Amino acid sequence: METTLRGVGVSHGVAIGEVRHMGTAVLEPPAKQIPAQEAGREQGRARQAVDAVAADLMARGNLAGGEAQAVLEAQAMMAQDPELMADVDRRIAVGSTAERAVYDAFAAYRELLAGAGEYLAGRVADLDDVRNRIVARLLGVPMPGVPDSDHPYVLVARDLAPADTALLDPSLVLGFVTEEGGPTSHSAILARALGVPAVVALPGAVELGEGTVVAVDGSTGEVFVHPSEERKTELAAAAAERRAALAASTGPGATADGHKVPLLANVGGPADVPAAVAAGAEGVGLFRTEFLFLDDSERAPSEEKQIAAYRQVLEAFPEGRVVVRVLDAGADKPLAFLTPADEPNPALGVRGLRTLLEHPDVLRTQLTALAKAAEGLPVHLEVMAPMVADRADARAFADACRAAGLRAKFGAMVEIPSAALRARSILREVEFLSLGTNDLAQYTFAADRQVGAVSRLQDPWQPALLDLVALSAEAARAEGKSCGVCGEAASDPLLACVLTGLGVTSLSMGAASLPYVRATLAKFTLAQCERAAAAARAADSAEEARGAAQGVLSGE
């Protein structure tokens, strides 16, 4: 008998297949004591296992490229953290086996992260995955991970580690469902990049039986258990209709009455560019530059290395617009040479622009590299600062850009509610705004973007978040400047229409989402989008807002 479960849809498409569960986590090693003379050998075993796991994560990152590479390189650095390894050595010196020392050292570090106001809770899942891989290698048992199968399946897990998500084979993994995670978690972002239908934060997901047939709708967040033949036919027809609409939709983004809405791509580095170009991106709305800095957590990349990487992306969009976000370090992206290790609440501490203003040489080198990378190219370069809180922040960034001789537009990201509330003031210092809806939701609702338990508050349909978007767009219109959205909200086709109705002037998203958004925007006029936006803002919850907008656009 068919039953319906509802989670959070994070990657478009429909998948119908049998459930296969993620490999189980490593069991806790026994607390066995070793003789003192074996300590050196056990410390060597631990180091070899750690280095092997770090190398494997780096190799997976190189294969995956783009955003996945940055995430996996961060995990590799986590595996080789000097403080963690010192703790492992200390535990072995007092009698622990290598595997038990690793298990206990990671458990202690896990408690520290969980105790930091839960703002680093998303990194706890990554830490657990690293621990499991190291312990598995030491015990000589299979790594936890994606199951082996000759037939396509729907992958179900409590959560998916980035190392597993990054290398999913879309020809075998039809879609995936997780019990934890949120719409802006690493796994959700990587699922969209892969184009794999996905639903996260689904209560009871891991209780689905192995081999159970399910139908996953990554757009609505619905999972149908034992779907009827009628349901399968209905979903298949809807999927076919979507594919036809996508194939027919080409060219620049625009509403049905010709109101232009440039559709741009979010990229994490040169490896993401081919997919963006193939999807018809009109430029780049968010170039995350962290990938360069994660290669070596001890020092910033040289100016020459930065110039080469930036130029690869700029050359791919001649005459197009490329918006570069300067380094956003801190919180869940710590760098040893920049960010303090002892902040009690890193997400509310020194991160983003605050970090760069404390290290002006790093900012100056990056801005100079961008200026040199753009020399002689017809590209429209725009550079923006993350985590701008007020006009003083915006002025400091604009001054730094001018001092570096940067011939580009300077902008500010709106990720903190104060920036939305005082957007007009900020726009007197910079030339454009770009809304990072992931962090804006996190700070508006005090809800960590990586914690599934508060995923309803991370929903970009929350009316309070739409109010802040509207405030920013209205301020930009009053100042005669642009206001784009580069957060994950832009990848939702229905919400893209609402954002357009709120006055947003461009939308940026993962390449896989571009065709869906382009096709949906083309169905409705600007007036319809404005009515849908007004209806969504008048609602009292995210679910009501989505339903109200859908009702307006469907003519109900």
Give the span between the Cα atoms of 4 and 235, in whole angstroms.
Answer: 14
User: What count of other Cβ atoms lies within 10 Å of the Cβ of residue 443?
Assistant: 18
Token pair, residue 164, equals: 């597993």
Q: List 8's β-bridge partners, or say none.
A: 200
Give the span between the Cα atoms of 31 and 84, in whole angstroms.
Answer: 19
Residues in the chain: 556
Cβ pair 155, 20 in contact under 8 A: yes
Catalytic (active site) residue 486? yes
The CA-based angle 193-545-181, given to 5 degrees, is: 40
Residues ≥6 apart with Cβ < 8 Å to 87: 101, 105, 108, 109
Amino acid letter for position 375: E
* Rg value, the chain, Cα: 24
Residue of 186, 359, 483, 529 marked active site: 186
Amino acid letter for position 376: G
Cβ pair 540, 463 in contact under 8 A: yes
Q: What CA–CA distances, in Å, run from 492 to 11, 150, 239, 548?
A: 9, 33, 16, 15
Catalytic (active site) residue 497? no
**Of the candidates 349, 351, 369, 371, the residue with the CA atom closest to the CA atom of residue 361:** 369
Place of tokens 């631990």: 46
**Of the candidates 313, 315, 317, 269, the residue with the CA atom closest to the CA atom of residue 294:** 269
Give the span between the Cα atoms of 64 and 187, in whole angstroms.
Answer: 13
Give the span between the Cα atoms of 532 and 551, in whole angstroms.
Answer: 8
Give the span between the Cα atoms of 12 and 222, in whole angstroms.
Answer: 12
Give the span between the Cα atoms of 321 and 508, in whole angstroms.
Answer: 11
Residue of 12, 401, 483, 486 marked active site: 486
Amino acid letter for position 365: T
Give the span between the Cα atoms of 410 and 381, in whole angstroms.
Answer: 9
Place of tokens 């037939």: 151
Amino acid letter for position 496: A
Token pair, residue 316, equals: 């791919």
**Of the candidates 500, 487, 423, 432, the residue with the CA atom closest to the CA atom of residue 460:** 487
Give the span between the Cα atoms of 135 and 143, in whole angstroms.
Answer: 9
Give the span between the Cα atoms of 255 and 11, in whole angstroms.
Answer: 23
DSSP E strands, 227-319: 263-267, 283-288
Give the span between the Cα atoms of 89 and 98, in whole angstroms.
Answer: 8
User: Concatenated DSSP letters for 83-101?
Assistant: HHHHHHHHHHHTTB-HHHH
Catalytic residue positions, numbered: 186, 486
